[in-house]
Amino acid sequence: MQDKIKQLWRQIRNGDQKALARAITLVENELPGYDDLLLQLPETEKTNVIGITGPPGAGKSTLVNALLHHWLNENKKIAVIAVDPSSPFNYGALLGDRIRMNEFYTNPNVFIRSLASRGTLGGLNSKIIEITDVVKNAGYDLVLVETVGVGQSEIDIAGLADCTIVTLVPEGGDVVQTLKAGIMEIANMFVVNKADRDEANALYNNLRILVHEKADGDKEIPVLKTIATSHTGIAELANEITTYLEAGKTNERMAYLLADKCWQLLQEKRMKNINRKVLQAALAEALQQPGFNLYRFVQDFDAAQKSIR
């Protein structure tokens, strides 16, 4: 198995998109060999991750399309990870952002993968950290991660991305109320998309005022206007992203996200040998005993499992 994984890594590093797709499937579905793949993960390349988030209907996918056009004209290689809402029936990606990006299907400099959120809070996929690490080692200049667009709970992207863009639209409601939402605390820059619509200037000006008040002596968070459908303002946005990345700011939120991931992985490893049916049977038997105490039962059951290991 390890030889196959090493071969898969060689193919990924050589730009084989099919190998990359296989690796992502391996990790996302925890298929045999996925842990070996992650353990053999090369030292993570310094490939920047750009997060694009915002409420549904803000034009996130259209913005990604426009940025792809811009960066491809600069001869860059781009990977896109688009997280979609899940189907309630089969947990697959419901919207399928690749359909909206079909013009890039055959472009060797673009890799696009849709992931289902599968009910995960935070606007991402439960394996997004692992998948992003794999993609970062595939030789792309940038990795774009587009989130579901679910609102206030969509904050994990701030820990994952080196630069997080919050996309808003004029009809998104009262901007002050919107800024109170947790999602507004994660922005490295704001984009007012569909800026040709009514109230766009009002939203832009209100954002400028609010980021100025929030600056507290630091550089203000940039606020930009775009019309993604016509690529208006896209060059300015791309330049602002480059400027931010070149500043090399440390993403302090990443430690929080990775700590949560470590906690999750440790829980999975410790629970790996726990059989739920065995646990249920032991609990049913213990319930028949006088003086049953759930917490003492858990302590005793855990001790018994450790002695078996």
Supply the pLDDT for residue 16. 95
pLDDT in tens, 226-254: 999 999 999 999 999 999 999 988 777 77
Label residue 181 exposed, middle or buried (CB < 10 Å: 0-12, 13-18, 19+): middle
pLDDT digits (tens, 9 = 90+) for 157-180: 888 899 999 999 887 655 555 555
In the chain, % of residues over pLDDT 90: 40
| pLDDT for res 88 | 41
Between 186 and 215, the more confident residue is: 186
Per cent of the chain over pLDDT 70 is 83
**Dihedral sign for Cα atoms in the order 9, 14, 19, 23:** positive
> Do 209 and 201 meet the contact criterion of CB atoms below 8 Å apart?
no
Question: Which alpha helices (DSSP H) does the chain contain, by range?
Answer: 2-13, 17-28, 34-39, 60-73, 97-100, 128-136, 157-160, 175-180, 200-214, 234-246, 253-271, 276-287, 294-308
pLDDT at 256: 74
How does the average pLDDT of the chain come out, rounded? 83
Q: Closest Cα to residue 37, out of 134, 113, 109, 105?
A: 134
pLDDT band at 305 (very low <50, low <70, confident <90, very high): confident
- What b/e string do you get for 53-67 counting C-beta neighbours within 10 Å, with b at 16 or more? bbbeebbbbbbbbbb
The count of other CB atoms within 10 Å of the CB of residue 301 is: 16
Tell me the two tokens of residue 309.
């290991």
H/E run at residue 190: strand 189-192
Q: Is the pLDDT assigned to residue 69 strictly greater than 80? A: yes
Q: Is the Cβ–Cβ distance between 142 and 48 less than 8 Å?
A: yes
How many angstroms separate the CA atoms of 56 and 219, rounded? 29
For residue 15, how far is the Cα from the chain centroid?
22
* More confident: 95 or 125: 125
pLDDT for the residue numbered 72: 96
What is the pLDDT at residue 41?
A: 84
153-156-157-161 Cα dihedral, nearest 10 degrees: 160
CA 60 remoteness from chain centre:
14
